[in-house]
Structure 1
């Protein structure tokens, strides 16, 4: 975001006039440039279309924002319904619908969905962090056969999966950045559709899934786990996202790395979405409890647990490297550690995000927000980190000061820094490249040193 835009965003945030300005400029003007790439990647959507849609949003206010994005989501839901109805009729199943998936969490419904979309399971599982815009067309063309009925099933299944992913993407944007009633409604919709999709395709691509719940510090902490099929205990990576991120933003791209022999457990950052309490230094207890729970899980080798965090989630992966003796290695991306937590870190942050930051941290006002952010500085913890760290950053990050990543790398003897020249927050321009590298790095660092134990022997 250019300096003039950043200063205007700050002025509007201070004077609480952002929504008035957005009526004329559109929401795109007030958001970091990386937002377009972030959500275009999630949905496999043309970035030019996504940019135009952000420009078309003319209010951040709860119901107007949510209605705008839910209308787009509804178009994709209708497409999914048409394909699912066609598939259901062709194989004689009771029709599966988007409404049914949202209303009923019964395994039988997910099982029916699995039968319908099985030919397109790898379409979702292999899409990765940066799917191609024409991925649907390429996938269908690459899997056609001489059996016309099978080809038609493949086509409708792929359209259904693609439409459900796009529906979940637009509901996720509607939910951003959480807190208000309308946004939370959209969040639950995106969450339900995303998890139903992953559960449905899992058997076809050699995975098992599990919802994980941990009660700690008055919170019902929730994780979503994806395990390689089989009975062997395996290494695990706890993955967490940032201030305004959701589990599905990580869950979909992570499926690509299912052949690394790792259990992947996604959890959202304390203070966001479903959490009741603000984020603070005490949120260490929440991550610590989840890590301890994973160390006792029968499918996880408790001596081989890593952590991977993006943006403010990277803050927590770095902090837990200093405080949790169970973690063996860390990947951290676009991490605020000290400089970004100072007063200048709020310059250019749009009003809607300032409100989200205040609520996440339990700050009464802007004056209260600064000290709460400053208290989270990790600089004095650097010397307590002894495990290997892979640090990812773009050197043109407009959200987090990239010098935090450089400072962290320079302070740690076992740190490896990958700094992408000219790239923005979370190095989204190189998302696929660095995610591929990160999961090879995690697999190497979490490699087994002793024979694994069958869960039947535990």
Structure 2
């Protein structure tokens, strides 16, 4: 029985966000069988009352923890943006990015390398923020142009930084995946490796703060972008795939080919939708020795079906729902487009989803996204696994996805739920990286035997 158009409009317009995947962690709590019910609080209305704009501002502000944004610059930029207006968002963040790109250029020309580096890191973040809402028109040239500005400005900052790094190309099928390999030093000493990957909408330059924290603790760090992400979707036009084991396998193959990697200690950390992608890869990759699902995601279709059933009348199985979506039903697309016209977050989610999955309609996007499932697969993960959830994560209300993943693991496992007592309850702890990195890296260090010196040498 297919759901009625009225039911779709009622349910999808209010519940579409909860499927992106979630994850965030609670510090100092024992892992419960399931996370506590999320309080009614949501992302704070910081400058914006629009939830999606407020959240993306919070995400940009989070980069201030690592010196890759500054609070005053962000708030001043946000104050000039028209609420809910994607063009205004692009124009103001791009203007700010151009300003600090120029500051970096002038500082470098005057011989002030540190000032230039810091300005470049901030400008790279602001370019990345500017590009975020442009994907409603995949042919918009500003998508690649602004992304390229962000990447090149970031690389200009890296070139001035003290941390050793390489820009790497990871063999993958008939092409390569872009990556950065950061090292503790130039010695070439084999060290434990931390692989960090992004999720639904990130670029790997946003992972730089994670790499910096890993280096501090003695890890060499590899970040990369796969199908549907960063350069791979924008330039190579390769969309997302659900069978991420076919991505992680080549990434690990590359890693173990390097003499500076301890192949017996390789950790994998997936951010946001990476909380599905990384576990999917680890289930098929025995060389992964520790896994962080940040935020844990079990089955995208489960949440979509639950949303449709909430109002009653969607008497379908997940398979039936996916088969129906694959017919590209007009009533589903009309309902989604109506919801997109009235809600910024629903609009962004579906526009970016169609962009990253190379889908021609909302229904086609959701049919492909429903393939993202760990049903019957989570049990195959063998390495110690940390599943993260946030008590006020609006992308995973009540920690449903994180709990489902945790409950289906048969390996050594821990569920960490960040409370919002000190602002850490949101998606991936944006805005509370001090608490986030402390808790997650402490768990990882214990599992990876990194409890000795700060250099990671025992």
- 2:129 is aligned to 173
TM-score norm. by structure 2 comes to: 0.70
Q: How does 1:23-38 map to 2 (within 5 A)?
A: 29=50, 31=52, 33-38=54-59
Aligned match of 1:182 in 111, 130, 142? 142
Q: How does 1:54-453 map to 2 (within 5 A)?
A: 54=78, 56-58=80-82, 65-86=89-110, 88=111, 116-117=112-113, 157=114, 159-176=115-132, 179=138, 180-202=140-162, 207-229=163-185, 230-275=187-232, 276-338=237-299, 342-343=303-304, 344=307, 349-401=345-397, 402-412=399-409, 413-422=411-420, 423-447=425-449
Cα distance in 1 between the residues matched to 2:84 and 2:141: 14
Cα distance in 2 between the residues matched to 1:283 and 1:309: 12
Cα distance in 1 between the residues matched to 2:348 and 2:210: 27
Aligned length: 359
What's the offset of the Cα at 1:28? 6.3
Q: Secondary structure at the match of 2:430?
A: helix
Is the CA contact (8 Å cut-off) linking 1:270 and 1:283 kept in structure 2? no
Cα distance in 2 between the residues matched to 1:379 and 1:71: 45
User: Which runs of 5 or more structure 1 residues have no equivalent in the other structure?
Assistant: 12-25, 89-115, 118-156, 450-458
Structure 1 stretch 171-180 or stretch 389-398: which is displaced more? 171-180
- 1:53 is aligned to 77
Residues 242 and 191 (structure 1 numbering): CA distance in 2 closer, same or farther, change over 3 Å? Answer: same
Residues 9 and 395 (structure 1 numbering): CA distance in 2 closer, same or farther, change over 3 Å? Answer: closer
User: Which runs of 5 or more structure 2 residues have no equivalent in the other structure?
Assistant: 1-9, 18-46, 309-335, 452-458
Greater helix proportion = 1
Q: Secondary structure at the match of 1:342?
A: helix
Cα distance in 1 between the residues matched to 2:172 and 2:121: 32
- 1:148 is aligned to none
What's the offset of the Cα at 1:342? 3.3
CA offsets 1:227-277 (integer angstroms, 9 cap, x no match): 121121111111001211111211134313323221101112421232222
Residues 333 and 214 (structure 1 numbering): CA distance in 2 closer, same or farther, change over 3 Å? Answer: same
Residues 198 and 225 (structure 1 numbering): CA distance in 2 closer, same or farther, change over 3 Å? Answer: same
Q: Secondary structure at the match of 1:363?
A: coil
Cα distance in 1 between the residues matched to 2:393 and 2:101: 34
What's the offset of the Cα at 1:329? 0.7
Q: What's the Cα RMSD here?
A: 3.1
Structure number with greater CO (CA < 8 Å, separation at least 6) is 2
Is the CA contact (8 Å cut-off) linking 1:340 and 1:404 kept in structure 2? no
Is the CA contact (8 Å cut-off) linking 1:10 and 1:351 kept in structure 2? no
TM-score norm. by structure 1 comes to: 0.70
Q: Secondary structure at the match of 1:290?
A: helix
